[in-house]
Structure 1
Amino acid sequence: MNASKDADMMVVGPAATEDSPGCCSGSVSTQVLHHAACPVLVVRTRPGVLEVG
């Protein structure tokens, strides 16, 4: 979370699984949302959409 002190915004993926299809069910994204010192954007993809990375 130290990087969030100097960041304008953090962007993370939800890492949700089929068992937990909630918005931000991934443990990393949840921790970032609760502890970051800057705004956080959780980006979800639609099924069938190609992820580039």
Structure 2
Amino acid sequence: MIETSEFLAKISRDKFLPYHIREQARQLLRHYPTPKAVRLAGRCEAVRQDQI
């Protein structure tokens, strides 16, 4: 997931791509979890698994 987020960010900044492609990448990123949120969710899941 983190790599996908970075990929979308890279696409959104690539001036060689058409505007509509860059804009779509920006729109997708708005609804995509940040790398920090993904890592936090992973840590929370690991703690939860330890408690079971």
Answer whether TM exceeds 0.5 for this pair.
no
**Greater relative contact order structure (CA < 8 Å, 6+ sep):** 1
Q: Which has the larger radius of gyration?
A: 2
Structure with more of its chain in helix, by fraction: 2
